[in-house]
A = this chain, B = another copy of it.
Amino acid sequence: MKIVIAGLGIIGGSLAKAIKKYTDSYVYGMNRSPEPLRQAMECGAIDEIGGTEALRQADVLILGIYPEAAVEFVRRHAGDINKDCVVIDTAGIKSEICPQLAALAEEHGFSYVGFHPMAGKEKNGFGVSEADLFQDASAILIPGMAPHAAVERIAGLCRKIGFGRVVYSTPEEHDRMISFSSQLPHVIACAYVFSPNCPKHKGFSAGSYRDVSRVASINAPLWSELFIENKKPLVQEINTMIDNLAQIRDGIEKGDREELASLLLRAKLIKEALGE
């Protein structure tokens, strides 16, 4: 296949490396700034720097850029995209993005499948991308109205490059689940390090500090866009979290050890029932 990747950050760069490592596809890279293109050519993550001609031949176009920029990119290049191409975005929110990209696809005759690779790091950029970032991760696909063959082309590619499972969803379910499983942990990490005691933690901390604070090293422009575009479910999750913290706090203040233990035991049972 001929694959164009627009945006060679950690996600686009890792997809490029994974595709070159695990498939025999030909990969074109596109990027606003030239440095990631140079690095990607140098390490073999892409075969060629792409442009209009690459879009005309592409079997798959991957948008490795921020959500709104992805819509803008497709709008600008829609006329050049191969009619047989399947366009996929990699955005962390879907309700705002999928309908716009699906409409552009319908208008111009190519296919569009929403895609969210559930992997990442607390660092950004092509420099931290890696071929095996997606090993055993979930690939969420939002098929929408895309033809079966288009969806299968993407699902097959995901399996080849190491994803552990392909999950099919809708924009609404995706955004509701992501608000809990990914956005809320980022909000929690930021709120946590705002404690006045945080700067003094050294010598008094271990794994539980490290884990809860890890993603506080956040890409602020990206996540502020993701949070605001997923406002409704995320605000609901934050409010639920505040209520649950208040419930545990009230149990501590009341001081009934057995009552508090049975509340904490409920958390243990939920966590252990999930097995991960």
Interchain nearest-CB distance for A138 vs B (Å): 5
Is A212 among interface residues, defined by CB-CB distance under 8 A? yes
* A248-B182 in contact given A199-B274, A206-B120 (Cβ < 8 Å): no
Candidates B140, B182, B228, B272; contact of A252 at CB < 8 Å: B228
Interchain nearest-CB distance for A145 vs B (Å): 22
- A contact residues, total (Cβ < 8 Å): 94
Instruction: Decide: A214 and B211 in contact? CB cutoff 8 A.
Output: yes
* Complex interface residues of chain A between 98 and 140 (CB less than 8 A to chain B): 118-120, 137-138, 140
* A187-B248 in contact given A195-B237, A204-B174, A205-B182 (Cβ < 8 Å): yes
* A274-B201 in contact given A215-B211, A249-B235 (Cβ < 8 Å): yes
A186 to B265, CA, bound (A): 12
Instruction: Decide: A228 and B260 in contact? CB cutoff 8 A.
Output: yes
A221 to B261, CA, bound (A): 5
25 contacts between A and B (CB under 8 A): A119-B206, A119-B207, A138-B205, A180-B195, A180-B204, A181-B201, A182-B208, A185-B212, A188-B245, A190-B248, A192-B241, A193-B271, A195-B244, A197-B237, A201-B274, A208-B214, A211-B211, A213-B271, A220-B265, A224-B258, A224-B261, A231-B252, A235-B253, A238-B249, A239-B249
Question: A interface vs B, CB < 8 Å?
Answer: 118-120, 137-138, 140, 165, 167, 169, 174, 176-182, 184-218, 220-221, 223-225, 227-228, 231, 234-235, 237-242, 244-249, 252-253, 255, 257-258, 260-268, 270-274, 276
